[in-house]
Amino acid sequence: MKQKEQQFKAKAYRFMIGRIFQLILALVFLLFIGRFLYLGISTNVAGENLTQRTNQLYRRNEVIKARRGTIYDRNGITLAEDSNSYTIYAILDKSAIDYHDKPLYVVNKKQTANELAKVLPLSSQKILTYLTPKHNAYQVEFGSGGSNLSLAQKKEIESFKLPGIKFVQAPTRLYPNGSLASHIIGIAQPETVKGTQDLIGTMGLEAYFNRQLSGKNGYREAFVDAEHYQLPNGLHKNKSAVDGDDLYLTLDFQMQNYLESLMDNVQEKYQPVGMTAVVEDMKTGKVLAASQRPTFNPQTKQGLNSSWRNTLVQDAYEPGSVFKILTLAATIQSGNYNPNAYYRSGTLKVDGSTIHDWNDVGWGSIPFSQAFPRSSNVGMSTLEQKMGAQVWKSYLNKFGIGKKTGVTLPGEVSGSLSFKSGIDQAVTSFGQGVDVTAMQMIQAFSSLANKGQMIKPQFVEKIKNADGKVIQKYHVKKAGSPVYSAQTAETILKSMKDVINKDYGTGIAYKMPGVDIGVKTGTAQIASPKGGYLTGANNYIFSVVGVYPDSSPRYSIYITMKQPQKMTAPAETILASIFKPMMNRIILLSATNNIVASQKVDVPLVVSKNVSDAETTTSADNMALVKIGNGKKVVKQSLPKGQQVASGTKLFVLTNGKLTYPDMTGWTGSDVQNFANLVNIKIKISGQGRVVKQSAKKGTFITAGSTLTVNLKE
């Protein structure tokens, strides 16, 4: 009986335990059901939005990059354009494997080096050195030889299917002409904005017109399933990118290129602290060529740290005697100029201070008609006193002295004018005590071609959108009202002729027989930080301005040179080595008062072609192919596909063989520069014209980073 009672209790206990488990399971089930219902109804769990979380898991966003606008010269030759560059690197760490244990590191270093040497401008031994570092490294790069690779080079390397070889892509701005007009064009560099890397203009026109050039990025939004396949079209969104606008400049590529080579020669030979040069169509204000020294290469960034300022608009200086053009104009127009009246040259007392002529003793008693061509400080100061300070000040205002020109370059300064005392007022008549910019002077000089009316200088001719439609056209823009009359202009121009044609003129060094030009020279003292002015034969800003044709001016050249460190020739001789060839180029290229447009050709793509096929292609496109190396296949070219260049331009190509120096006889300075950029060497150029001598003989192996010296001769 007792046993049955125990069995009953055990059965009841098991039944109770079973019921408890059933109840627990029911509660758990109800809990899960409740949770699922909650998840199905509610949009937030634990403070997290489920809809947003789902979108994050299954939505894919992609930025559609806008193309940055291209910058062209006046004839459509490319000066700056968008590009992508690639940097190659190699993974060496053997821990880099995929899910199938497939190696993602370099397996056979020697084979990899041999294959890469077919494309990269590096020997297989040099590549093998990179692949065998002295210390353990997860990955390595290949120096300058492995950077800035083109898409064609990347694809060719990828075709080798080399394990461990990877690439990094970056948006870049291509400046195919090196330092040509670099401070005008400026520079655009990659910057990360809102998580996206875009090119942003930081200097020059690239910065001033950054909004127009940038365009607007688009986006692509799509939803995928669990297997990452895109769902039907109705479940994705697209917004197309709007490409940036294109700038067409007033610069003429051929004239700019020639000016750069002339300035390079002077910089190399005489080493001035600074130089500027501007060639302008005074009738329209269009700047045809402009540059400065020191300069920089926007492609390689060489020289950028020491020459980032655009001295044409950002540096103000005392202009010296070229300013006497303004003084003469004001004196004539105000009725205070009598060319036949005499004055005593040499010295002049003003407010207890003495003004000296540049030769200290003067030329005795001479007529005012000789004051300008002799560049007499005393003569100009006397004329300023005849006008009176207030009249002179009113003309300085009319000429825009102390005011920005409004040129489309960032950072323009307004200059300054010291005009408190009588001596301050007097010395401004010959360009002291007044700070100007090169653009202010160019604007003032433009009045010579427009009957006293100044024209604003401009660097941009038109802007086109991505569809090729002109959306903005820059027209001739007057600067203020006419400062003087046509009759006054005639008198000034006659005096500018006397500067080079009279035996007492200061500009005889600029005389060009049979050429109708007018000139004014300048020699400005440089203020000392300790007060007063610097002394010494080279501590000046030397300058010259010339107009052509003098009988009816259309074009002007204005050059300044600051403190030549190797002054082995007179300042006039140095400046004439730029002025006279440049003036000859203007005369040769001018026809019916317009610079003749250069014939243009499109650069073909010859990368990956056999050299023989590349020669055939470039010949058909009126270009001259210059082969670098002894290989049979082209791996890199100096100019990008589609760029418009002048007919006959040299296209330098690297081959997959050993790189040696070619015979450069007959090359221009720009040819040498393009070659140097391609093979990554430095150059030193002396003389002007074409190459007659080079320091490295034909057939010598090229070493990256080495220096080549070439001598040019007309």
Residues 76 and 99 reside in one and the same domain: yes
Kindly report, residue by residue over 84-100, the tens digit of the pLDDT: 778 899 999 988 887 77
Query: Band of the pLDDT at 675, cuts 50, 70, 90?
Result: confident
Residues 56 and 76 reside in one and the same domain: no
Residues 490 and 557 reside in one and the same domain: yes
Report the 10 Å Cβ neighbour count for 345.
22
State residue 333 phi and psi, 5-degree precision: -65, -30
Name the residue among 536, 556, 543, 538 with its Cα closest to residue 507. 543
Distances from the Cα of 159 to the Cα of 84, 138, 557, angstroms: 19, 24, 54
Name the residue among 638, 517, 540, 528 with its Cα closest to residue 586. 517
Distances from the Cα of 464 to the Cα of 54, 75, 81, angstroms: 44, 14, 14
Q: Are strands 246-249 and 71-72 parallel, antiparallel or unpaired?
A: parallel
Query: Band of the pLDDT at 59, cuts 50, 70, 90?
Result: low
Q: What pLDDT is stored for residue 20 in this prediction?
A: 79
Residues 524 and 607 reside in one and the same domain: no
Kindly report, residue by residue over 203-243, the tens digit of the pLDDT: 999 999 999 999 888 877 665 554 445 555 545 667 788 89
Residues 582 and 552 reside in one and the same domain: yes
Residues 665 and 687 reside in one and the same domain: yes
Query: Three-class SS of residue 668?
Result: strand
End-to-end CA distance of the chain: 135
Name the residue among 411, 413, 393 with its Cα closest to residue 317. 413
Q: What pLDDT is stored for residue 597 in this prediction?
A: 46
* Percentage of the chain exceeding pLDDT 70: 89
Q: Are strands 48-49 and 460-464 parallel, antiparallel or unpaired?
A: unpaired
Residues in Cβ contact with 22 at an 8 Å cutoff, skipping those fewer than 6 apart: none
Number of domains comprising the chain: 4
Specify the higher pLDDT residue, 230 or 424.
424
**Structural domain of residue 260, as residue ranges?**
253-595
The number of angstroms, rounded, from the C-alpha of 470 to the middle of its chain's C-alpha atoms is 23
Angle ∠(542,544,549) on CA atoms, nearest 5: 175
For 567-638, list the strands marked E by DSSP. 590-591, 594-595, 600-602, 624-628, 634-637
Kindly report, residue by residue over 137-193, the tens digit of the pLDDT: 899 999 888 887 877 788 899 999 999 999 987 778 888 888 999 999 999 988 876
Query: Band of the pLDDT at 640, cuts 50, 70, 90?
Result: confident
Residues 125 and 240 reside in one and the same domain: yes
Separation CA 563–CA 274 (nearest Å): 7
Residues 259 and 244 reside in one and the same domain: no
Helix axes 124-131, 109-116, angle to 10 degrees: 140
Helix axes 389-398, 377-387, angle to 10 degrees: 100
- Find the catalytic residue in 150, 214, 307, 321: 321
Q: What pLDDT is stored for residue 680 in this prediction?
A: 79
CATH number, domain with residue 75: 3.30.70.2110
DSSP label at 588? H
CATH number, domain with residue 455: 3.40.710.10
* Residue range 555-572: mean pLDDT, rounded: 96
Residues 487 and 408 reside in one and the same domain: yes
Q: Does the pLDDT of residue 413 top 70, yes or no?
A: yes
Distances from the Cα of 417 to the Cα of 169, 399, 479, angstroms: 51, 13, 19
Q: What pLDDT is stored for residue 236 in this prediction?
A: 60
321 is catalytic: yes
Q: What is the mean pLDDT of the chain?
A: 87
Specify the higher pLDDT residue, 701 or 595.
701
Kindly report, residue by residue over 386-409, the tens digit of the pLDDT: 999 999 999 999 999 999 999 999
Residues 138 and 153 reside in one and the same domain: yes
CATH number, domain with residue 615: 3.30.10.20
Q: Does the pLDDT of residue 78 top 80, yes or no?
A: yes
Kindly report, residue by residue over 484-513, the tens digit of the pLDDT: 999 999 999 999 999 999 999 999 999 998
Q: Taking a C-beta distance cutoff of 8 angstroms, is the pair 80, 187 a contact?
A: no
Residue at which a domain ends, from 223, 249, 275 = 249
Name the burial class of residue 128, with classes exposed (0-12), middle (13-18) and buried (19+) by CB atoms within 10 angstroms of its CB: middle
Report the 10 Å Cβ neighbour count for 606.
24
Specify the higher pLDDT residue, 591 or 463.
463
For 339-491, list the strands marked E by DSSP. 342-344, 347-350, 353-356, 365-367, 416-417, 434-435, 454-455, 460-464, 470-473, 478-479
For 216, the token pair is 């607007």
Name the residue among 439, 173, 180, 187 with its Cα closest to residue 308. 187
Specify the higher pLDDT residue, 453 or 655.
453
Residues 24 and 164 reside in one and the same domain: no
Residues 441 and 423 reside in one and the same domain: yes
Q: What pLDDT is stored for residue 596 in this prediction?
A: 44
Separation CA 388–CA 382 (nearest Å): 10
DSSP label at 287? E
Q: What pLDDT is stored for residue 45 in this prediction?
A: 56
Separation CA 708–CA 673 (nearest Å): 10
Q: What pLDDT is stored for residue 76 in this prediction?
A: 87
Residue at which a domain ends, from 546, 562, 595 = 595
Kindly report, residue by residue over 16-47, the tens digit of the pLDDT: 777 777 778 777 777 777 666 665 665 565 55
Query: Band of the pLDDT at 333, cuts 50, 70, 90?
Result: very high
Query: Mean pLDDT lowest for which of 118-127, 637-646, 659-668?
Result: 637-646
Residue at which a domain ends, from 537, 563, 595 = 595
